[in-house]
Structure 1
Amino acid sequence: MIRYTKEEAKHIWVTSDTHFNHANIIKYCNRPFSSVEEMNETIIANWNKVVSERDIVYHLGDFALGDKSLIPDFIKRLNGHISFIMGNHDNLNIMKSFETPFRCETVSWEEVIKVEKKTIILNHFPFSSLPDPATNYPIIQLHGHVHSTPDKPWNYFDNQYDVGVDNNNFTPVNLAELLDKIHYKVHIK
């Protein structure tokens, strides 16, 4: 388990479900783009506006679809050091092949990190049960997969959050800011 301070968490970003090069996701999720090229360029621009070259990004699955040979081009254009969590549309062998040559730190099915006393589970799929935050067992789950939106949020648990691009203006979410929001919501001490 990797441990971070609250200060370090200011340089960590979380996102999911970019679906680079997936034209049908525009229709399926009612994304506000006229083409897959516009979607790709908007997500890359939004990412690079907030993420610096030295920042860490946890991408929680469904990075790209279609022609897998284009994945390195997307990775090269994105700021930060990326740790990939596998989604249902990702291929483990293909993603693992990008670990070393590109700023891809790890490829795994799940990561568990700790920021001060908060344990954060990073997974593509939302869990159907989590410890109640009132039990003083401060677990938070960050996930993707559900393609929620601000007007149709995923609210299964207060200590769970959909970091997918559809829910976050097609932009990665800062971990420190997100933990402050969740802390306030569930009163984790």
Structure 2
Amino acid sequence: MAHWSDYSLRGWLSFLAFMHIGLCLRSFFDPNFLFGKIFHTNIHKETVFIRYFGCYSISQAFILIQSAIHLYVLPLQTITIFLLILFIILILLESFYYCTLDFYGGTLLPFMMSIISLIWLILFHFVWKPWLRVEINEDIVKSGLLHSGHQSHHHNKRNKSQHRYPDRMSSSNHKYGKIHSD
């Protein structure tokens, strides 16, 4: 049985990803979106910045969707954690250091959702570790291993002396790992 947080975390990350898709679309189709609704200053009001923000948002959405689909792939989750930290630092710097963001509903919602997602991902992978609590049904594991292409245990014992891939490695070069070039 899946851990209670599997599907809820996947849904949460998907929702966060679609929020970033919305940010991307609004920044590409509404040139006044960033400077009218998010940033309160008119410094560097160029469309290049808007397109960069749109590309950043769509890449963040793509990584969040992949993170929701492949929840147990730790390297992808560390990229997602890094991306969320980067987004949180961006909002904090722009709000309190550069003073170009107003810290209210338009920026507070993505900020808080990113913090919740970051905490949830860290708890999921480093505290809860649900993959350690899942009961493994041995019949399902055995049936998964015995599909076509896999050999039975007795068949492997009989043919242990033969090399499994004779076309790739010669038996004399196997010790040194040289590729057979016939």
Q: TM-score range by the shorter chain?
A: under 0.3
Q: Normalised by the size of structure 2, how large is the TM-score?
A: 0.27
Greater RCO (CA < 8 Å, at least 6 residues apart): 1
Bigger-Rg structure (1/2): 2
Q: Normalised by the size of structure 1, how large is the TM-score?
A: 0.26
Greater helix share, 1 or 2?
A: 2
